[in-house]
């Protein structure tokens, strides 16, 4: 088999409603998740043993190779299929910032599971792969499917949403990491959210969906900004861009997103922002 490649798309929480810490050590949440047309890229080809090579502008920020989510996912797949450790040479081109609230590691693992299944000829559907992904982390199943979905529970209870239209967006990361654990601890110090799932929009046209999203929130945004003021700067600067209809942080940060009426408006805003913040990671995209 020749080398095969797959995009591991960025995940964006269009809203994120978080409840207080429960006795099991987890926070209940409600979110509407969409996926971008930008992300990391993973390549796989048959080999004598399992290996992972990393490249790209953000490869230096990854954890030790032996603990990478990609390798953990493929090893877990081999165990679930009863074939031991698969012989695959994997290459991860890391284009997404690390610790950025974009689900990068989980999305990489999801792409690796699909590539490994196909390369090894395993008779496993996506539901079976999602069960493996769930053992990697709460975001595993949603990033494996990479489809717009309502996420509840710990983020693992999914209801796919076919009504969500393509949303023109700009992703902006100010170049600082945001630790999920630290953000949740700051949230727990003064919990102010609840895991309420709002009624869906009555109108699924782009403009109406954006208007509906304005009434939602990200309960982790304030604690994240308190820990990393650069996120607040990114929110403020991005909100001032011409044509930006809504600006919000994704996940536990540090990436923020702005929604626009058209992709042309998002690209123009990205060009304008890049001219004054050349060190920031800025990508125009369509969320689906």
**Would you name the residues annotated as active-site residues?**
11, 139
Quote the CA–CA distance of 260 and 257 in Å, as a whole number: 10
Q: What is the CA radius of gyration of the chain?
A: 19
Helix (H, G, I), strand (E, B) or coil at 233: helix
| DSSP calls for 194-226 | ----PPPPS--SHHHHHHHHHT--BTTHHHHHH
Residue whose token pair is 């996120």? 231
Residue 89: which of 67, 59, 112 has the closest Cα? Answer: 112
Quote the CA–CA distance of 274 and 269 in Å, as a whole number: 9
Core vs surface per residue 137-154: b (16+ CB within 10 A) or e: bbbbbbbbbbbbbbbbeb
Axis-axis angle for helices 69-81, 126-134 (nearest 10): 120
Quote the CA–CA distance of 156 and 147 in Å, as a whole number: 13
């Amino acid at each position: 088999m020749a080398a095969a490649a797959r995009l591991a798309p960025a995940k964006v929480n269009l809203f994120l409603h978080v409840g207080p810490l429960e006795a099991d050590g987890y926070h209940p949440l409600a979110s509407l998740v969409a996926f971008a047309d930008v992300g990391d890229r993973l390549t796989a080809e048959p080999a004598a043993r399992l290996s992972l090579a990393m490249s790209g502008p953000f490869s230096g920020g990854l954890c030790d190779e032996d603990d990478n989510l990609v390798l953990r996912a493929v090893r877990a797949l081999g165990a679930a299929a009863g074939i031991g450790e698969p012989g695959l040479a994997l290459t991860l081109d890391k284009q997404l910032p690390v610790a950025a609230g974009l689900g990068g590691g989980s999305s990489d693992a999801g792409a690796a599971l699909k590539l490994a299944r196909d390369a090894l000829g395993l008779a496993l559907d996506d539901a079976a792969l999602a069960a493996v992904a769930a053992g990697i982390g709460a975001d595993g199943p949603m990033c494996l499917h990479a489809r717009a979905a309502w996420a509840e529970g710990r983020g693992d209870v999914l209801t796919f949403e076919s009504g969500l239209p393509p949303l023109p967006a700009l992703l902006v990361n100010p170049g600082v990491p945001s630790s999920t654990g630290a953000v949740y601890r700051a949230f727990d110090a003064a919990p102010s959210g609840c895991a309420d799932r709002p009624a869906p929009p009555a109108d699924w046209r782009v403009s109406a969906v954006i208007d509906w999203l304005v009434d939602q929130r990200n309960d982790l945004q304030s604690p994240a900004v308190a820990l990393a003021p650069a996120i607040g700067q990114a929110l403020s600067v991005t909100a001032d861009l011409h044509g930006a209809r809504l600006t919000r942080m994704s996940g536990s940060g540090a990436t923020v997103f702005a929604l626009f009426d058209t992709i042309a408006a998002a690209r123009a805003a990205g060009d304008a922002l890049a001219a004054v913040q050349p060190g920031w990671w800025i990508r125009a995209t369509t969320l689906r």
